[in-house]
Amino acid sequence: RAIGHVRYLATMEIGSFDAADASLKFGAAAEEAALNTNVVVVGSLERLRDAKDCHKLQRVLEASPDKMQLITSVARAMSAKKDGASARELYLLPEPVETDERSGSVRRVCLIALPSACSRHNSPARPHALTSCLKGNAGPGSLTVVAMLDDPSLAFATGCAIVRAFPTWVAQSSTAAKMQSKKINVIFDAPDNEAIPEAEIAVLSWAARAIRFTARLVDVPCNILNTTEFVNQARVVHALLQSTLQARGEEANAVSLEVITGEDLAAQGFGGLYGVGKAAAHPPALAILKYYPPGTSAADQATIMVGKGIVYDTGGLSLKGKTGMPGMKKDMGGAGGLLGTFRAAVGAGVPKKPLYCLLCLAENAIGPLATRPDDVHTFYSGLTVEINNTDAEGRLVLSDGLAFAA
């Protein structure tokens, strides 16, 4: 099956989202955009049934009172689940004009009622249920999402949950074309028409784009996102943040990137990271991103993030089985998540003290240079370790990263 799909593959590249990603808009920018014919309205069942709020929704949907009555009736007929979200959809015909002909397009409206229960493990925004339900009910093409919030403070969690429902990379050409043309407008509707602060919308925009960027890294297979390409993506983030800092009046060199790769890792004592990745076609690397907010320096207490970036994990000589290996392209998700976090935090101007991001990148491959069980490696800390399972590589690369961070 995989061989049969090769001819349908799109251009094998990762691409990237810049800070002005036009496919995603929040708040006032979304309200100013043209309303899509595909609309999803999400909120608690109480909010969906609230007549007062339906008047606000009426303005957003540009619907007649009769159609709003229909939407309200559908909402009142819905029942909230305890654990998962529920959805109902309806189609609104365009309004007739003086010639008795209908103008415009049929509008799809999907109502998503969030679960009634909220456990101690979940946010009051119910983000997991929202993401899961939206994936299956987003409908075709571009869409407008109207988030009926119980409280303005839930805007950030809700916005992040919405963007997680839309993947940004796939290799199949027909699907990729649809994804690339999809535009998402997110409008927030808080009780009593309370506005979401623009500063919060700005932070959300950076976070949402970082989520999509990270999801893309995790989705891309290792024959594209090898360690060398991962370092290139770190350089893309570095360049983006330099231009962002300049635009807001900071020094561009307040953010920096250092990369230690291949034999230089061994020479500088990173035996754990080097030992895991030395058998691969692309060398292991340690990417070090640093950001110093205005008024801070390297002497100040810092926040340091260390991420595991195993771009593929075969298990090494302690080889995984045929059912255990598929999906191991995701073993770099820790480093991918932290690169996205660094991008969002620095881009939004959140850090008040120095922020470091260490990406420990390697492919746990098989080859003549592969680490063997019984080998002994020396970590950056000076400690030694005897290998008895080459499939326990994560602790080896992170040990070097943590020792360097300390």
Spatial CB neighbours of 132, under 8 Å, sequence gap ≥ 6: 84, 85, 165
Pair 308, 334: CB distance under 8 Å: yes
Two tokens at 62? 């540009």
Pair 208, 53: CB distance under 8 Å: no
Two tokens at 118? 């909220």
Spatial CB neighbours of 328, under 8 Å, sequence gap ≥ 6: 310, 312, 313, 314, 320
- Please indicate whether residue 395 is annotated as part of the active site: yes
- Give 325: exposed, middle or buried? Use CB within 10 Å, 0-12, 13-18, 19+: middle
- The b-or-e profile of 182-199 (16+ CB within 10 A means b, else e) is bbbbbbbbbeeeeebeee
Query: Of 56, 81, 320, 330, which is the active-site residue?
Result: 320
Two tokens at 248? 């807001």
Spatial CB neighbours of 3, under 8 Å, sequence gap ≥ 6: none
Report the distance separating Cα 151 and Cα 330, nearest Å: 35
AA identity, residue 75: A
Two tokens at 37? 């014919």
Q: Residue 344: what are its φ and ψ, rounded to 5°?
A: -70, -45
- Give 154: exposed, middle or buried? Use CB within 10 Å, 0-12, 13-18, 19+: buried
Query: Of 59, 235, 372, 395, which is the active-site residue?
Result: 395
* Catalytically annotated residues: 320, 395
